[in-house]
Amino acid sequence: MDQIKSQGSPKAAGFPDNSRESLASSIGRGKEALGTAASEAMEAGGADLKALQRDLSELKETLAKIIARAGDETAKSAREIAGQVSTAAGDIAERGANVASVATEQAKSLAAELENIARRNPLGALAGAVVVGILIGRMGRRD
């Protein structure tokens, strides 16, 4: 067992002392270089993380503005549509009132004309009323 241990050591393997020191120095420099590289990588990663956070914050603000604009446009469109519907409803109501007014005037005119005919020719008006009554009676029987 002692032979195995002595064979595993650099001195026993035939490495001179200066080689051992050189190897230790190289390992030390490697550790320092690795530590420096890791530190630089962490700093670069931190800078990238800050840039990513800043970009996400800007994206959040941009989306908030877009959503606000879309909401404003939607509200504006809704107000315009409501105005158009209100105008159309007003026009329809006005037209309906005009039609009702014209129909009322025509009914009054017809009633006045029938009244004048009945005053001028009472027997003809009576005969017309009988004919209309018979027609209404026959239509009622068919159903």
Instruction: Provide the pLDDT for residue 36.
Output: 85
Q: Please check whether residue 21 is in contact with residue 27, taking contact to mean a CB–CB distance below 8 angstroms.
A: no
Crossing angle between the packed helical segments 17-120 and 122-142, to the nearest 10 degrees: 130
**How high is the pLDDT of residue 23?**
80
Q: Which domain holds residue 29?
A: 2-142
Q: What is the pTM of this model?
A: 0.41
Q: Taking a C-beta distance cutoff of 8 angstroms, is the pair 118, 125 a contact? A: yes
b/e per residue 37-66 (b: at least 16 CB within 10 A): eeeeeeeeeeeeeeeeeeeeeeeeeeeeee
Query: Which pLDDT score is estimated for 92?
Result: 93
Residue 133 identity (one-letter amino acid): G
Read off the DSSP letter of residue 143.
-
pLDDT of 98 reads 92
Strand, helix or coil at 58?
Answer: helix
Per the structure block, which two tokens stand in for 122? 């009472």
Cα dihedral: 135, 136, 141, 143 (round 10): 120
CB–CB of 141/134 below 8 Å? no
What pLDDT tens digit does each residue of the chain (143 aa) get? 444 444 445 444 555 667 778 888 888 888 888 888 878 888 877 788 888 889 888 988 998 898 889 888 888 988 999 889 999 999 999 999 999 999 999 999 988 988 888 889 888 888 888 998 999 888 888 76
Q: How many domains does the chain have?
A: 1
* Torsion sign over Cα 9, 13, 14, 18: negative
Condensed to tens digits (0 to 9), the pLDDT of residues 86-118 reads 999 999 999 999 999 999 999 999 889 888 888
